[in-house]
Structure 1
């Protein structure tokens, strides 16, 4: 039935949390944050994770811009931890983070097995809300770039999930039929509601058992379950 599999990248194939923690550990040392009232690396990592998720949620609802996310997420993280930080220092940390992060290579459990399984019989693509050069570096660092025919991001499509435009662009650029496409992602609002709005079938990768307001075509808790569905 399906010929084109569109994968979200972060949190679906590429282990953002693990790669982020490693990058934050590098920042913690490089910027001597242990001398700035942040006694524990784990506290810095945890607070950034909370702040970053909140800002990405706002971004996906079009309540802030990508530039605002970049300016504020590290500043807010530090301020919340009692550090006197301004946006300039926050931007310094953010730029260093974006340089480190794409060099990390940890993948979600089962990612390689799933990609190996589907690659001979399907066209595989990335459909991401990230920036093109960053996402390309991530898949290259984790040595999965050869699996994907297209890497479609907000820059190429000039739209962000859940906007229908990015899904329409994905179908067009891959010369696919909508009925032959399925979206696979971990973000219910961006990936699944976006696909539903675009009338594309979807698979919700939901390891945390998040309650949903609409039903995806399929739902899985482990990537390896994709082999049973497709």
Structure 2
């Protein structure tokens, strides 16, 4: 297949959300003096937030909660799950806003990201399709110095819908003036990125470092980003 347009997910695919998030959470742990809340350790806070955050993003992608609910609930529930009692209802949101201000300043990328983007840029038109907040995603890309690789940065705010809804992929093809048969979606989330793109009749690359088994097979399955150089 002669691809021309490559659509990348951002978080967990190119931008190392787990590492960048862990750094932010370490800052928050100190700034908000979480030791005084009797949270056992920074590691416990980081681990619980990771679990709660993934759960809430899954709910969001199923349209079971809104972005505003995710922002309000993820830190509040993390702290409650760690045994913190009598929290102000606004405390979780206050932490979340600090987190969102700090997170885009972090710059760690998934291993091989720059090498692969340097290889692909002369050959393809590169774009982003993300469920994240638009300004935050743009700032992440600027901080990590990958913004210049991409033409369109497509987010749910612009498309009016989010992955896995096929309408965000339809919107992406429309705004980039791409031919669907010449388009390829690359992402780490099987439900949002891969099944969403398959439902939109777009070929897919599942970035799958943990070797997650899949039902409906992607066009390609890779464990490292550098494997894209063999495919493309």
TM-score (norm 1): 0.99
- Secondary structure of the 1:87 match is coil
Report deviation, 1:64: 1.0
Provide the C-alpha distance between the structure 2 equivalents of 1:103 and 1:39, rounded to a whole number of angstroms: 27
Residue 178 of structure 1 is matched in structure 2 by 180
Residue 167 of structure 2 is matched in structure 1 by 165
Residue 16 of structure 1 is matched in structure 2 by 17
Provide the C-alpha distance between the structure 2 equivalents of 1:100 and 1:90, rounded to a whole number of angstroms: 15
**Gaps in structure 1 of 5+ consecutive residues:** none
- Secondary structure of the 2:215 match is coil
1:140-179 Cα shifts (integer Å, max 9, x gaps): 0000001001110001111100101100000010011001
**Gaps in structure 2 of 5+ consecutive residues:** none
Provide the C-alpha distance between the structure 2 equivalents of 1:34 and 1:156, rounded to a whole number of angstroms: 40
Residue 7 of structure 1 is matched in structure 2 by 8
Residue 71 of structure 1 is matched in structure 2 by 72
Cα pair 1:9 1:127 within 8 Å, conserved: yes
TM-score (norm 2): 0.98
Residue 218 of structure 1 is matched in structure 2 by 220
- Residue 121 of structure 2 is aligned to residue 104 of structure 1: no
Residue 36 of structure 2 is matched in structure 1 by 35
Provide the C-alpha distance between the structure 1 equivalents of 2:11 and 2:88, rounded to a whole number of angstroms: 28
Provide the C-alpha distance between the structure 2 equivalents of 1:205 and 1:121, rounded to a whole number of angstroms: 20
- Residue 206 of structure 2 is aligned to residue 204 of structure 1: yes
Provide the C-alpha distance between the structure 2 equivalents of 1:106 and 1:97, rounded to a whole number of angstroms: 16
Report deviation, 1:39: 3.0
Provide the C-alpha distance between the structure 1 equivalents of 2:47 and 2:200, rounded to a whole number of angstroms: 35
Residue 195 of structure 1 is matched in structure 2 by 197
1:83-103 Cα shifts (integer Å, max 9, x gaps): 122431000000000000000
Runs of 4+ in 1 over 4 A off after TM superposition: none
Cα pair 1:72 1:87 within 8 Å, conserved: no
Q: How many residues align?
A: 230
Provide the C-alpha distance between the structure 1 equivalents of 2:53 and 2:46, rounded to a whole number of angstroms: 10
| Aligned counterparts, 1:78-93, within 5 A | 78-84=79-85, 85-93=87-95
Cα pair 1:28 1:34 within 8 Å, conserved: yes
Provide the C-alpha distance between the structure 1 equivalents of 2:59 and 2:158, rounded to a whole number of angstroms: 21
Provide the C-alpha distance between the structure 1 equivalents of 2:147 and 2:209, rounded to a whole number of angstroms: 24
Identify which of 143, 161, 173 aligns with 1:141. Answer: 143
